[in-house]
Amino acid sequence: MKIGVIGGGQLGRMLALAGTPLGLEFTFLDPAVDACAAPLGQHLLAGYDDQDALRRLADAVDLVTFEFESVPAETVAFLSQFVPVYPGAEALRIARDRLFEKSLFRDLGIPTPAFADIHSQADLQAAVASIGLPAVLKTRTLGYDGKGQKVLRSEQDVVGTFAELGEVPCLLEGFVPFTGEVSLIAVRARDGETRFYPLVHNTHDSGILRLSVASQAHPLQGLAEDYVGRVLKALDYVGVMAFEFFEVDGGLKANEIAPRVHNSGHWTIEGAESSQFENHLRAIAGLPLGSTAKVGESAMLNFIGEVPPVASVVSIDGCHVHHYGKAFKAGRKVGHATLRCADLPTLKARIADVEALIAG
């Protein structure tokens, strides 16, 4: 079966690494000459709105998927005329806009921070008066890794902030005094069968994910599965979805969804029976889903800016390197390490070992 992927970054690369053993073949549409997934398949070098290229892609593959959610709606609509697209247009429409996303959570009875739609500085002043401070102002679309958002702590912070974010449609959210951030990676097949990986505890720095640790029997696993299951069903979703939550007051508040494989699920490559990449492909290709069970205690550490010396990283027992083959650049995700150990104390010690190498 031939799979078309919109985007040829590291997520596309890891999809191909998981799908090739299943006999799947990949074509990546990406305007970047140095797209790091390109060596793993065919590379259609064109813009996401290039209708000739989209038509060629649709003709060359059996179905299309995405490695990022900011794909123009027109691209999805155009492709859908010729070839099945998973996840579908509605899931992408919701996930690319924070207002639609939070409105869906609210409609489905899933707790989420207080929020207001902002189109002007006057809207912002009014929303701050009702939601209160601290609060977080975020662009509705195109934000990632903490970009396109600002925490407002005082009335002074509110002045001029709408202009600072580019006077684009924004969402104001109440600040959540969370005790932790967790994500749930789920996969739903074409026939509706749904499986969940264990909740993952995530640590960010400067808005970028640094460390994900797969949890043991987390007390909020059932609640998270209930919330995520509601969204998957409402969207008649097919494929892997990542759902990020804040842990607060012993419960969960929904932050955002990603309609794709996700950085906080990279530990599954070596840490789960079937990885998120394999399960996404199984789901969209109409194959039976694979087990989401953990195979040991597992964690993932991102390499930001550069990959530490590979020989040193792989000398740590149970440590696996994933080098994305991208040019090193400050703030850029260029690889990660997956750790798999027999028990938690060993995992903690190995995490410290990898962190020391990352620190240089």
**Under the rule (CB under 6 A), what is the footprint of ligand AMP?**
113, 136, 143, 146, 173, 175-176, 181, 204, 207, 244, 255-256
Indicate the residue among 98 and 322 with the shorter CB distance to ligand AMP. Answer: 98
CB of 100: closest distance to ligand AMP in angstroms?
14
Indicate the residue among 27 and 264 with the shorter CB distance to ligand AMP. Answer: 264
Indicate the residue among 203 and 315 with the shorter CB distance to ligand AMP. Answer: 203
β-sheet bridge partners, residue 74: none
H-helix segments, the chain = 10-19, 51-60, 73-80, 89-95, 98-107, 121-131, 155-158, 161-164, 221-234, 268-271, 276-285, 310-314, 344-359
CB of 182: closest distance to ligand AMP in angstroms?
11
Q: For the chain, state the CA radius of gyration.
A: 20
What gap in Å lies between CA 120 and CA 211, rounded to an integer? 36
Nearest by Cα to 207 from 255, 266, 154, 153: 255
CB of 357: closest distance to ligand AMP in angstroms?
24
Indicate the residue among 244 and 278 with the shorter CB distance to ligand AMP. Answer: 244
CB of 200: closest distance to ligand AMP in angstroms?
13
Helix (H) or strand (E) holding 336: strand 333-341
User: How many helices (H) does the chain have, and how many strands (E)?
Assistant: 13, 17
Residue 203 CB coordination number (10 Å): 12
Indicate the residue among 143 and 198 with the shorter CB distance to ligand AMP. Answer: 143
CB of 128: closest distance to ligand AMP in angstroms?
14
CB of 183: closest distance to ligand AMP in angstroms?
10
Angle of CA points 331, 332, 337, to nearest 5°: 110
β-sheet bridge partners, residue 183: 200, 244
Indicate the residue among 46 and 248 with the shorter CB distance to ligand AMP. Answer: 248
Token pair for 346: 């060993």
Indicate the residue among 211 and 319 with the shorter CB distance to ligand AMP. Answer: 211
CB of 84: closest distance to ligand AMP in angstroms?
29
Q: Give the phi and the psi of residue 2 in degrees, each rounded to 5.
A: -105, 130
What gap in Å lies between CA 233 and CA 192, rounded to an integer? 8
